[in-house]
Structure 1
Amino acid sequence: MTLYPVPESVARARRWFRKFTAPYNLACPIDDCVLMLSELVTNAILYGESEEPWRVRVEWSRLGESLRVDVHNPGFPADVRLRSPSANDAHGRGLCLVNALADSWAAGPSRFGGTVVWFQIDDAWKP
């Protein structure tokens, strides 16, 4: 899915993800996936930068029995980092949530230019 870099796109990404994955009866907690997707799309909107018009791209795929979700934006891969926010910090918990809920995740250069941050849930499809 392709989204405009506006706050309303976070809710749209959640709706689309639920709609597109529903026919597959995934064996993983969909609410956890939706939470992680929300955090990554929010980060993409907040930290993606470009001098030209740009979009956030979201892809999901099956890798064997695993579900992988990729979120692309035009920001710099080196800017993605796991923070340790204090109890008083209003921001900085998104990747902490992804780190806690996903079986794996990473960030790096996107094939579209910019950054991709992805997470993977193992055993999302049971044989």
Structure 2
Amino acid sequence: MADDLALLVSELITNAVIHGSTGRGSQVHVTYRLLDDRLRVDVRDAATGRPRLMRPTSLDGVPRDYGRGLIVVATLADRWGVTPHVIGKSVWFELALSSEGAGTPERDAS
């Protein structure tokens, strides 16, 4: 679980730094919460817009060098989504803390 957690946090922070910057002085905030049976991590930036899953290849079949971050999140996280804020947004994910909580990933865009 530690490896998945590190990779997921890294992907979302990288996305926030690259795509969530609103100019000089932009900040990225990472918070986490322990819920009953899962860990929830939020990565917040000041940019508007809604991140979306991208295809790993372009329409002509050529592999992309970018755009895989949310595919990794969607694959490894038990749940993930986007929460809009007055200024910016948070992209969050949850990991089950026990095998009983794991199962079919649920997607939520709350």
The TM-score bracket by the shorter chain reads 0.7 to 0.9
Which residue is 1:75 aligned to? 47
**TM-score normalised by the chain length of structure 1:** 0.68
C-alpha distance in 1 between matches for 2:68 and 2:22: 24
Per the alignment, residue 46 of structure 1 pairs with 18
Percent of aligned positions with the same letter in both sequences?
36
Q: SS in structure 2 opposite 1:96?
A: helix
1:34 aligns with 2:15: no
| Paired residue total | 96
Superposition RMSD in Å: 2.0
- For residues 40-65 of structure 1, the C-alpha deviation after alignment (integer angstroms, 9 at most, x for no partner) is 00000001132452210000111111
SS at match of 1:120: strand
Select the structure that is richer in helix. 1
- Unmatched 5+ stretches in structure 1: 1-28
Alpha-carbon distance in 1 for matches of 2:72, 2:79: 12
1:115 aligns with 2:96: no
**What is the Cα deviation at residue 125 of structure 1?**
9.6
TM-score where L is the length of structure 2:
0.78
Structure 2: which 5+ residue stretches go unaligned?
101-110
